[in-house]
A and B are shown apart, each in its own frame.
Chain A
């Protein structure tokens, strides 16, 4: 709140500086014999930017990270008794101290008398620290703003190139924005690696990557001895693979043929109707696909298989009949098939782009030789587009592997290593969701294992994407 008010004041002040600098520059322009180098607005902007930006950065920085700094400082000075506590308890203690310091209600944890004293003491320290930090940041911001204003105003001189100065600031801003994307990647990698590293402290990576049993519920508590068998991710990889395979079996042929038909056969009218409809299909949120899979496709498939099973029971295929009679809603086939449909527009629009990039001259050459359209597609267009189409398929695979909602809603939770599409399987993403919704304890391997899975997922999809995007780029260059 204070930060916010300070920012408002800063904005008002730099507005004033802007007006002042602009007026001065205007006067200068009138007085000067030769035209001054920059227009008054630029002088104004230059001074305003120097006034506002450094001070604002200080305010924002202390506003955002103040809490962290405060916690670190306070926890370093906690009494011995508190420091001996479990990490979670210590955190609660710290939070309580901060709540008390800010006049808010603390948690209902009962503290023995000595700790109660320590708590009050800590709260006092927090209060003192906070007021000191606040004073410091406000003072620093004020000094910076004044210094910036003085500097900016002092540069209002005829020969000064204010425009270039402003443009340099602008460039810095632009650069900072584009670096955000890089920071996102760094953030993803760092957080995944850091939490996974903590996970791998209790479960060795090879046990995780190659273990055959996944049963994290058996390791509920941090103090419980973690049986290595509980965190074997192979069944999850197998489930993910199975569902991805089914999805691709649906999406690859249907998407590719749709793309071929649209780009090689369809009239402009048909294209104008079908393409937006496919975009609609692509725009449907995955949670909607999940709902449809769970409440419509699942029961439908189950009823179908059960009916077939009932026919077979008693016949020569009795065993199979009995098996089909027991099939559940949550089979891999349902999640895979619906995910496949979700991927159709993705595959078809990527392939469409790729196929359209094949030069028309190749088609003409083939048609002029007396080839039919389908021969042209099969023998010339597709071979020419092959790398691009492969890349599109890889991107689709990456999507399928990382897709979460459909599998969360329509696949099951049973970790099973199977290739039978009628079985219930679970996937990496389903497990991440299951592990991280509800209570989280960042000390238990159970919660941390989600980050291990996330890291694996990220690594695999990143590899697929890098390879696919590389191929696409090469392919584009070829036909530029």
Chain B
């Protein structure tokens, strides 16, 4: 070979010539990475910030506490349900703040629009229970109508043109008077957490949806976790490696990536149409979500089982345990924390799932708390979807608040998963 000693000075010069440009490119590249992270995290902050900003005021409500004289002239003891209590209360309130009604009663109607229908129902309930109350006075407390609440929360402003806001100047004046008289008090909104859906925003709450979600999730967990864990155990520990098990494996991986709405179609066609499972019930929702969660539970369990070192299996087998005993007495218990972590995460995912539930009829208006797996029910994410569609502004506030409740549950579940992982983290 005709070899020449390389020219090191040349090399240095050549490399040095482009060094600056290369380092600049390096910095640019790193900057792109930072920007990408900033975009993602910035969006997260924006999203959560905006939801809290929109939703926090839901947790404060403005309640009106007032005395009502149960005028015997207006209430028929034989038919207490026939009386118009709302109007009665509105008129008395008007009198109280010294405003005379006009001949058409339009002022008391306007006042009535500031009060929640809940007041009237409370009176009716009391009178029904004890007709002796007629002729006496009652002290009652109920939230103001949602729009009135928004005024106190500063979300409806007097400075806005009158025709663009739901409340007239006159109504705003009255609200100020009621407030000045000390009849209006703000406090923590318990209604939102203790009631179910309602057409009136101020009476709408998430309890029904939370209970519906819980029922559904319990069913999902009860089906998906045992079946998923056992299936994964079979595939990982017992199944012979052949074309069939390969097919099952491919099948499971693909199922995990099937769009959730397809599971909804499956539920509609099979569970509702074919098996006559009641629509809108936690039962059908839970079945659908169980099928949807199954592949993820299987995948999580398999990776937890894979993480158990073969030495443990060999040790147990060497001691004369059968394969089944080895797996169920030694391998599975060791994999359990990983399995539970995976299962909780996939349940958290199921908790937030909406699309397939729309297919099985969970979008209906359900004012009560479901008391059985087969009763009509809604769930949190669907409740969010329903309220988001509502036109009243007060529902938008509640949508954001319902999202906060949903996220709180999801954070709790994720936290549980993280703690579980921390607590039992094992390194071999």
Contacts and interface: CB of A to CB of B under 8 A. Distances in A.
Interface of A: 64, 67-68, 163-164, 167, 170-171, 173-175, 177-182, 184-185, 187-188, 191-192, 194-195, 253-258, 260-262, 264-265, 274, 277-278, 280-281, 283-292, 294-296, 341, 344-345, 348, 370, 372-375, 377-378, 395, 398-399, 401-405, 408-409, 429, 432-433, 436-437, 440, 442, 450-451, 454, 457-458, 461-462, 465-466, 469
Interface stretch (B56-64, B126-134, B170-178, B268-276): B268-276
5 contacts: A188-B258, A191-B270, A295-B388, A295-B399, A341-B43
B256 to A, nearest CB: 9
Interface of B: 15, 22-23, 25-26, 28-30, 32-37, 39-41, 43-44, 47, 50-51, 54, 226-228, 230-235, 238-239, 248, 250-255, 257-266, 268-270, 273-276, 291, 294-295, 298, 322-324, 348-349, 351-355, 358-359, 361, 363, 381-382, 384-385, 388, 396, 399-400, 403, 406-407, 410, 414
A462 B253 CA distance: 11
Contact of A405 (B43, B230, B266, B385): B385
Given A260-B33, A280-B44, A405-B385, A291 B265 contact: no
A179 B244 CA distance: 11
6 closest Cβ pairs, A-B complex: A402-B259, A261-B33, A285-B352, A191-B269, A257-B36, A174-B234
Contacts of A296: 50
A470 to B, nearest CB: 9
B266 A191 contact: yes
A283 B253 CA distance: 20
B358 A433 contact: yes
A265 B30 contact: yes
A167 B324 CA distance: 7
Nearest to A469: B253
A409 B261 contact: no
A181 B47 contact: no
B322 A167 contact: yes
Contacts of A370: 15
Nearest to B351: A285
B329 to A, nearest CB: 13
Interface centre among B37, B258, B276 (most CB of A within 10 A): B37
A436 B234 contact: no
A178 B231 contact: yes
Q: Which residue, B226, B234, B235, B291, has most C-beta atoms of chain A within 10 A?
A: B234
Contacts of B253: 465, 469
B261 A457 contact: yes
B33 A265 contact: yes
Given A289-B47, A345-B40, 5 more contacts: A192-B265, A277-B44, A284-B44, A462-B254, A469-B254
A34 to B, nearest CB: 17
Contacts of A261: 30, 32-34, 36-37
A405 B269 contact: no
A177 B230 contact: yes
Contacts of B25: 372, 374-375
A348 B40 CA distance: 10
A174 B230 contact: yes
Contacts of B258: 188, 402, 458, 461-462, 465
A408 B384 CA distance: 13
Contact of A457 (B41, B262, B351, B381): B262
Given A67-B276, A174-B234, A461 B322 contact: no
A256 B33 CA distance: 9
A178 B363 contact: no
A253 B270 CA distance: 41
Contacts of B354: 285-287, 404-405
A174 B358 contact: no
The A contact surface, by secondary structure, is helix
Contact of A170 (B51, B263, B324, B363): B324
A273 to B, nearest CB: 9
B261 A180 contact: no
Given A185-B255, A295-B396, A469 B261 contact: no
Contacts of A258: 33, 36-37, 40
A224 B92 CA distance: 57
Contacts of A281: 40-41, 43-44
A405 B235 contact: no
A405 B355 contact: yes
Contact of A181 (B50, B252, B270, B276): B252
Contacts of A404: 259-261, 354-355
A454 B322 contact: no
Nearest to A64: B275
A315 B37 CA distance: 39
Nearest to A278: B40
B269 A451 contact: yes
A236 to B, nearest CB: 14
A337 to B, nearest CB: 10
Q: Which of A181, A345, A399 has the most CB of B within 10 A?
A: A181
A181 B25 CA distance: 50
B385 A191 contact: no
B29 to A, nearest CB: 4
B324 A254 contact: no
Given A68-B275, A254-B39, A284-B407, A398 B257 contact: yes
Nearest to B413: A283
Contacts of A185: 251, 254-255
B44 A436 contact: no
Contacts of A395: 257
A191 B359 CA distance: 14
Given A285-B381, A372-B23, A409-B385, A181 B251 contact: yes
Given A192-B265, A402-B260, A291 B384 contact: yes
A95 to B, nearest CB: 9
Contact of B403 (A170, A277, A288, A375): A288
A369 to B, nearest CB: 11
A254 to B, nearest CB: 5
A461 B256 CA distance: 11
Contacts of B47: 284, 288-289, 292
A254 B40 contact: yes
Contact of B257 (A68, A174, A450, A465): A465
A408 to B, nearest CB: 8
A181 B358 contact: no
Nearest to B34: A261
B233 to A, nearest CB: 6
A163 to B, nearest CB: 7
A180 B231 contact: yes
Contacts of B37: 258, 261-262, 274
A465 B40 contact: no
A447 to B, nearest CB: 10
Given A177-B227, A181-B231, A402-B261, A372 B51 contact: no
Contacts of A290: 385, 388
Nearest to B22: A372
Nearest to B279: A440
Nearest to B254: A465
Given A178-B231, A255-B36, A287 B251 contact: no
B384 A288 contact: yes
B261 A187 contact: no
A181 B298 contact: yes
Given A178-B235, A288-B407, A283 B348 contact: yes
Contacts of B358: 433, 436-437
A194 B269 contact: yes
B363 to A, nearest CB: 5
Nearest to A264: B33
A304 B358 CA distance: 33
Contact of A277 (B41, B262, B399): B41
A457 to B, nearest CB: 6
A288 B51 contact: yes
A442 B262 CA distance: 17
A317 to B, nearest CB: 29
Contacts of B36: 253-258, 261, 348
